[in-house]
Amino acid sequence: MDIRTIGVVGAGQMGNGIAHVCALAGYDVVLTDVSADALAAARATIERNMARQVEKGRVPEADRDAALARITGTGTLTDLASADLVIEAATEKEAIKHAIFAELVPALGPDTILTSNTSSISITRLAAATDRPERFMGFHFMNPVPVMQLVELIRGIATSDETYEACRGVVDRLNKTAAVAEDYPAFIVNRVLIPMINEACYTLYEGVGNVASIDKALKLGANHPMGPLELADFIGLDTCLAIMNVLHDGLADTKYRPCPLLVKYVEAGWLGRKAGRGFYDYRGEGDPVPTR
């Protein structure tokens, strides 16, 4: 399968990062979002991040200019019809993903590979709702995409060897490393990571430590680059909660019960950095201030 054009659905934090690395690798990229503001913000973010790579000597200026020229933004989902590979990177809500595929699939060519950047939802279930389960798989990038080296590749029950090999080839061309995961709730990385974050929430909820002490303990005691609550804010507390719910529902084990404090923060709209407030308050000019 010769992949030349990649369509990316969703211009948020993950989508713009995926567009960034694909364009630098030489692919033509069509980036789509329902929000014109999100597309404009994504373009600005990509330009800013590529400029930083040029300044650090990691990307030649000519390569940056060529990559930017390969990215096209559109508000029309069916403009992805010419893509050889589509990577859906919309909100981590299954109903939204199904709605996207229902609109997109009739416009795609019969050989187009359809993938999802989902961090937890069943690939087999998503694929079964399309006309191409054998050409569907999970293509899970880590955040931030231009920096993180890992991509989880998740095969659904019907995913063909040809589809897997084509996606593996894309990962190699992006100069990233693939980890193959079975199609179980949250796959590998988030099966381990998000329950750790949830346990940090319980540690805060039960008063074992405050935000600063919990993050300090894990950074200095376990040599983590970010504390779990700081990381939760970076990921988005709504995303953390969605993944915990997938684990809890999919595995039916009480050890995956979402922490009530995490639920409360999400209900309050304190979703982390993107909302200006989560376990830390980012609205001031200085360093973020713990909210507990």
Q: Which residues are catalytic?
A: 119, 140, 152, 190
State which H helix or E strand residue 162 sits in: helix 161-173
Tokens of 256: 């995956």
Residue-level length of the chain:
292
CB atoms within 10 A of CB 175: 10
Sign of CA dihedral 212, 238, 266, 252: negative
The CA–CA distances, whole Å, from 119 to 11, 146, 201, 208, 212 equal 16, 17, 20, 29, 27
The 3-state DSSP class for residue 180 equals strand
Give residues with Cβ within 8 angstroms of 108, minimum separation 6.
Answer: 80, 81, 83, 86, 114, 132
Cα gap 36→74, rounded to integer Å:
8
Determine contact, residues 114/83, Cβ cutoff 8 Å: no
CB atoms within 10 A of CB 273: 18
64: left (phi over 0), alpha (psi -120 to 50) or beta: alpha
